[in-house]
Amino acid sequence: MIYRETAIILGIMDDLAVELNRILEGTAAWRLLSDFGKRMYFPRGIIAQSGEAKKAASKANGTIGMAFSNGKPMLLPGFKRYMPDFEPEETVAYAPTAGNEKLRELWKNMILRKNPSLDANRISLPVLTPGITAGISYTAELFLNAGQTILSADPAWDNYRLIFEERCGGVLHGIPVFDNGGQLDIPKIRAAILQEAKTGSVRIIFNFPNNPSGYSPTNAETAALVACVEEAAGSADVLVICDDAYFGFFYEDSVCRESIFSRLAGLNERVIAVKTDGPTKEDYSWGFRLAMVTIGSKGLGPEHFDALVTKLTGAIRSSVSCSNTFAQSLFLKVYGDETTHQQKAAFFDTLKERYEAVKQFTRTHKDHPRLSPLPFNSGYFMCLRCTGLDAGKLRRRLLEKHGIGTVSFGSEYLRVAFSSIETDIIPEVFGAIYDTALETF
């Protein structure tokens, strides 16, 4: 191929990257890759060579920068005292760049169990990243060039702007996704997607349950969104990032119980779906900073998935190198504990109780002249649209006068995380928010 010969002659692309690109050539994934994505590879250096040595070096393994004694990583007694149930290799040793293989396999099986319509042959083995933010950021680096547009809901998580615009140089185009009836505005979303398709490629991020609104689509809305993507794929390559950070926190029967990723992964050869999820929110383990990135497409086979996973692994290697070993080992033990499911169910019931308390309050205060809730049925949050007042000023007033913390999104939206508010004080907190919004300040 001309691009291969030119790249090697000019010395601007490593042979390993060229080989990965050769595997991907002709697929939508290849056409959607950014310049960074095309350059990325996983080197056959220290990590790869130490992996080989770990399997075959029976006499001595002098490949990795760790200290061993009697065949095990050295572990300070103070650490061991607080981690009595773990071996040194489960705590202080380096983890593989793409994550613990057993944990990755386990997470893939969990994805398939939670999304029964998903075809296991249409998805990659998940790659572990240090948090969902990192997973989205690596995906953006692989598939978004400077100047290219990515579509998202408006309002959206403020970190999207940092990732897609400030970090990658892309253009984040927000779509106001709710109609006046309190449902997803499918015609508006479709129009934005098809308009972008005229450029030959579409990049979009779906975040359900949504942050900040706390909304997830119904089965009918999910089908309509998938139809929009399929229509665009008739003339363009489509990348859909599925930010599933709050997956599973569904409080209404009408909500689609599967990730939209499950419908997109086998949809069309020109659609590349990337699912970012993990235990951070799903398993109440925010500070452990573990997440997974899974790639799905009807147009990709095992060798294509392996090539993309290798590029993603290279992106991890070139930044944080690997994620926290102890957290990965801990999750393997927790997932193997038969009481975990029951404990998670109890936590879920607590969050649902808080959701229902907020829902009840908004139903009985629906005629407020300045505040109106965006549709919410899931997740950790709900969001209030402010009319005739500045959301940032309201936020500061609530904090200074009542000691109530909220988050403003621009001047129009105020987000409240009901997940962190005890049920018995929800009426008092929301009463203060609604009353304060009527004041002049």
Average pLDDT over residues 179-205: 94
| Residue 8 reports pLDDT greater than 50 | no
| Residue 65 reports pLDDT greater than 80 | no
pLDDT for 21 = 94
How does pLDDT run across 276-316, given as a tens digit for each residue?
A: 999 988 998 888 899 999 999 999 999 999 999 999 999 99
Q: Residues 5, 318, 87, CA angle at the centre, nearest 5°?
A: 130
pLDDT for 2 = 47
pLDDT for 222 = 98
Concatenate the DSSP letters of all residues of 35-56 into one string.
HHHHH----SSHHHHHHHHHHH
The DSSP element (H or E) to which 68 belongs, if any, is: strand 68-69
Average pLDDT over residues 13-31: 93
pLDDT for 338 = 87
pLDDT for 58 = 55
Distances (CA, A) of 306 to 217, 313, 338: 32, 10, 33
Residue 205's nearest CA partner among 242, 232, 170 is 242
| Residue 9 reports pLDDT greater than 80 | no
How does pLDDT run across 225-245, given as a tens digit for each residue?
A: 999 999 999 999 999 999 999
How does pLDDT run across 354-380, given as a tens digit for each residue?
A: 999 999 999 999 999 999 999 999 999
Average pLDDT over residues 194-208: 98
- Mean pLDDT is lowest, of 49-58, 222-231, 264-273, for 49-58
77 pLDDT tier (thresholds 50, 70, 90): confident
Average pLDDT over residues 257-277: 98
53 pLDDT tier (thresholds 50, 70, 90): low
Q: Would you call 394 helix, strand, or coil by DSSP?
A: helix
Q: Would you call 65 helix, strand, or coil by DSSP?
A: coil
Structure tokens at 57: 């070096």
Q: Which class is 340-436 in CATH?
A: alpha beta
More confident residue, 73 or 62: 73
| Residue 109 reports pLDDT greater than 70 | yes
440 pLDDT tier (thresholds 50, 70, 90): confident
Structure tokens at 365: 């205060």
| Residue 168 reports pLDDT greater than 80 | yes
Structure tokens at 56: 């075959």
pLDDT for 10 = 43
Residue 395's nearest CA partner among 379, 412, 374 is 412
Q: Residues 291, 293, 297, CA angle at the centre, nearest 5°?
A: 155
Calculate the CA dihedral of residues 334, 335, 339, 344 and round it to 10 degrees: 90
Q: Which CATH architecture has domain 89-335?
A: 3-Layer(aba) Sandwich (3.40)
Structure tokens at 429: 């907190």
Q: What is the mean pLDDT of the chain?
A: 90
- Give residue limits of the domains in the chain: 89-335, 340-436
| Residue 247 reports pLDDT greater than 50 | yes
Residue 229's nearest CA partner among 178, 268, 262, 256 is 268
